[in-house]
Amino acid sequence: MAEAKPKTSPKSIKFLFGGLAGLSAGLLRQATYTTTRLGIYTILFEKMTGDDGRPPNFFLKALIGMTAGAVGAFVGTPAEVALIRMTADGRLPADQRRGYTNVFNALTRITREEGVTTLWRGCIPTMARAVVVNAAQLASYSQSKQALLDSGYFGDDILCHFCASMISGLVTTAASMPVDIVKTRIQNMRMIDGKPEYKNGLEVLVRVVGKEGFFSLWKGFTPYYARLGPHTVLTFIFLEQMNRLYKTYVLDR
């Protein structure tokens, strides 16, 4: 007697493919936002480096990071709009689903059905968050790397890049968590008697600190850092290696 094969339930199939929803949009967002911010930061950092090789000070690094983050967020907003819509599509009633097949289908349909400016909906808060995150992440990485090299215990190698990026991930987590709390609560706020629950981001911070305490702004710090730390490490290690290869095989030839 043949052994019966286990059947895959529709719910498990839906869960599997639901987890992949928006993958193309997520990849495009990284290809636009991340490459733009890192490219601009690298170019501006080199422009601001003195003729004697002296790097810019920390505040100038932060300013460069803010600029790179703002431009990168602007470039990446269309992909983020598509990502948010594609991942939320499965939670909508069947008659309200948009049914985008991939990120390019989403961008084309959004432009055709709602106008090209819809691709930059929510651009300002996205840029504001990127300014804070990149000022912390990029500036702290450059500063940490410089401090490690100046200590005499590190060379300009992967170990140095790893340590500097772990420090950068810690600083970025501390700086970005309050901003993320504001962003999340505004996105999920309710209407009370016809009025929004919060007037602006400052009110969110004041009410959260007043009701939940100052350190509630960093609630969930460890899992947040566990996610952001490896991401930061891989980002900067790959960036350093690509910069090294570019200088070796392109600039020095």
Q: Which DSSP string do the residues of 164-215 spell out, in sequence order? A: HHHHHHHHHHHHHHHHHHHHHHHHTPPEETTEES-SSHHHHHHHHHHHH-GG
- Highest mean predicted confidence (pLDDT) among 15-29, 51-65, 89-103: 51-65
Return the pLDDT at 128: 85
Amino acid at 196: P
- Confidence label for 188 from pLDDT (cuts 50, 70 and 90): low
Question: What is the C-alpha separation between 168 and 59, in angstroms, rounded?
Answer: 15
203's tokens: 């009110």
Return the pLDDT at 189: 65
Question: What is the C-alpha separation between 253 and 249, in angstroms, rounded?
Answer: 6
Taking 80 as the threshold, does the pLDDT of residue 184 lie above it?
A: no
Q: What percent of the chain clears pLDDT 70, i.e. is strictly above it?
A: 88
Return the pLDDT at 14: 45
- Confidence label for 17 from pLDDT (cuts 50, 70 and 90): very low
Question: What is the rounded average pLDDT for all residues in the chain?
Answer: 84
Question: What is the C-alpha separation between 56 and 44, in angstroms, rounded?
Answer: 10
Question: What is the C-alpha separation between 121 and 95, in angstroms, rounded?
Answer: 23
